[in-house]
Amino acid sequence: MSELSARSGVAIPTIKYYLREGLLHPGEQVAATRAEYDDSHLRRLRLIRAMVEVGRLPIAAVKKVVTAIEDESLPFHQLLGTAHYALSPQVEPEPTPEWEAAKAEVDALIADLGWQVAPGAPARNDLTQTVARMRRLGMGDAIRTYAETAERLVREVELDTIPVGGDRDAAVEALVLGTVLYGRALEALRRLAQESESARRFRGDGFSPAP
Amino acid sequence: MSELSARSGVAIPTIKYYLREGLLHPGEQVAATRAEYDDSHLRRLRLIRAMVEVGRLPIAAVKKVVTAIEDESLPFHQLLGTAHYALSPQVEPEPTPEWEAAKAEVDALIADLGWQVAPGAPARNDLTQTVARMRRLGMGDAIRTYAETAERLVREVELDTIPVGGDRDAAVEALVLGTVLYGRALEALRRLAQESESARRFRGDGFSPAP
DNA sequence: ATGGGGTGGATAGTGCTACTATCCAGTGAA
DNA sequence: TTCACTGGATAGTAGCACTATCCACCCCAT
């Protein structure tokens, strides 16, 4: 176990915790107080750390994904779907008129673009809530532009990072890391562009950094 | 105070907590056990809730922003800069060769695009870390595409939500909400596009939702 | 004029999450 | 044979964002 810890960079008590939580399958018992861990444990540990550190998923979401990986009867594309859904913030619908209006708008947009999205996809609720908030503030006329932009990026770049075959852990890891890292990069780039464009428009020195 | 709580929808103990933390300026003492709160408190409370709920900022970051708002000697554009910086995740540089390589890449990209960004902007470190992780995985050739996309969105849409004059609380609120909400919308749209495009490519039914 | 509910201020406690720490008897290499 | 290390169990910690309780006080409706 200390070897697993050393190789993965994860502390022993943390490994024990993951074992307890069922995120990591037990090692092969070789004696009452000894178990063997192999590459599958190393890979799983890498996947867990990727989801927790990079993706900032709560342990409960990680557990869902792990359960899906271990359910060998679950087809590959459903496994990827489970992982993908675990990445979205879970937003509860609110029974308000604003929500319904935003939901109608989101549904119309998806239909209009010809997107094929399951009715229960969590990103639908996430987007609905965001659109509702935007509307309340008088923003959000550019949603369609954003949708087209997202479609282009996904088509041209991101989908290539989603693997179609091979090892289940590795595939999920690639999906999670691809989705999260491109998202994070885009976010950072938006902020840099905002600072720069703000500098260009309002004065020569941008957002002056805080001291 | 119960009136402030009722109007803002924030529980009284929470208001007391914000007062303790210095996020909310005290009301005007009208007697030993009585104070008057006005619209400025209501607006400030809205701003705090926007940053906490929508922007998911930690209270410490909110405090920085509030301090900047209250420092009347701070010029308006520096106030906006402080708020903007508070929205970025704070990433510490790592002294590794990969980090340096990624940093060089990020710096070159920014220079190449002619962006005017302060050397200490937190989004630089955030992007550097992300690029480093991508490189380690063999991804990230499309960063430039993402940068150009971000620039276009910011130019055409987002900067218009950043107000240039008027009330400091309201301006910061608009900046924070604009930045966060467009980001969140784009994120949700990327996920929807991923699901749809994945359905189109791999089979007819997309990521089947988890049961 | 009086009593009941609300007030500001202080201090302590809660719930959640993601770990850490400690203890234990029991190996297994040295 | 000894001693660091193991798996397993149980308990404790840190950080965050509140939430609860207590207190003397004071306003106002009765």
Q: Is B208 among the domain residues?
A: no
Which residue's CA lies closest to nucleotide D24 at its C1' atom?
A: B33
Asked if pLDDT for residue B66 goes beyond 50, the answer is yes
Q: Is B207 among the domain residues?
A: no
Asked if pLDDT for residue B163 goes beyond 80, the answer is no
Q: Is A181 among the domain residues?
A: yes
Distance from residue B11's CA to nucleotide C5's C1', rounded to whole Å? 18
The whole-number pLDDT of residue A29 equals 85
Q: Is A210 among the domain residues?
A: no
Q: Is A81 on the interface with B (CB under 8 A)?
A: yes
Are B15 and B45 in contact, with CB atoms under 8 Å apart? yes
Global pTM exceeds 0.75: yes
Question: Which of left, alpha, beta for A207 (phi over 0: left; psi -120 to 50: alpha)?
Answer: beta
Q: Is A209 among the domain residues?
A: no
- Secondary structure (3-state) at A11: coil
CB–CB contact B188 A133 (8 Å): no
Band (B160; pLDDT cuts 50, 70, 90): confident
Q: How many Cβ contacts (< 8 angstroms) between chains A and B?
A: 292
Q: Which nucleotide is nearest to A13 (CA to C1')?
A: C20
Q: Is A85 on the interface with B (CB under 8 A)?
A: yes
CB–CB contact A197 B150 (8 Å): no
From B150, B155, B159, residue closest to A189, measured CB to CB? B150
Q: Which chain B residues are Cβ-neighbours of A143 within 8 angstroms?
A: 185, 189
The whole-number pLDDT of residue A116 equals 93
CB–CB contact A115 B88 (8 Å): no
Could you tell me the residue range of the domain that residue B126 belongs to? 2-199
Q: Is B8 among the domain residues?
A: yes
Could you count the other beta carbons within 10 Å of the beta carbon of residue A17?
Answer: 14
Q: Is A163 among the domain residues?
A: yes
Which residues between 147 and 176 in chain B have a beta carbon less than 8 angstroms from any beta carbon of chain A?
Answer: 147, 149-159, 161-162, 164, 174
Which residue's CA lies closest to nucleotide C18 at its C1' atom?
A: A59
The whole-number pLDDT of residue A211 equals 42
Taking residues B84-103, report their average pLDDT. 92
The whole-number pLDDT of residue B205 equals 53
From A85, A126, A185, residue closest to B131, measured CB to CB? A185
Band (B211; pLDDT cuts 50, 70, 90): very low
Q: Which chain B residues are Cβ-neighbours of A150 within 8 angstroms?
A: 186, 189-190, 192-193
Beta bridge partners of B34: B31
Asked if pLDDT for residue B141 goes beyond 90, the answer is no
Q: Is B209 among the domain residues?
A: no
Which residues in chain A show pLDDT less than 50? 204, 210-211
Asked if pLDDT for residue B207 goes beyond 70, the answer is no
In 3D space, the residue among B105, B67, B102 whose CA is nearest the CA of residue B83 turns out to be B67
Cα four-point dihedral sign B174, B179, B182, B188: negative
| Element containing residue A31 per DSSP (H, E) | strand A28-31
Q: How close A15 gets to chain B, by Cα (Å)?
A: 23
DSSP string spanning B90-150? ------SHHHHHHHHHHHHHHHHHT----TT-HHHHHHHHHHHHHHHTT--TTHHHHHHHH
Over pLDDT 90: what percentage of chain B?
A: 61
Asked if pLDDT for residue B210 goes beyond 50, the answer is no
Domain count, chain A: 1
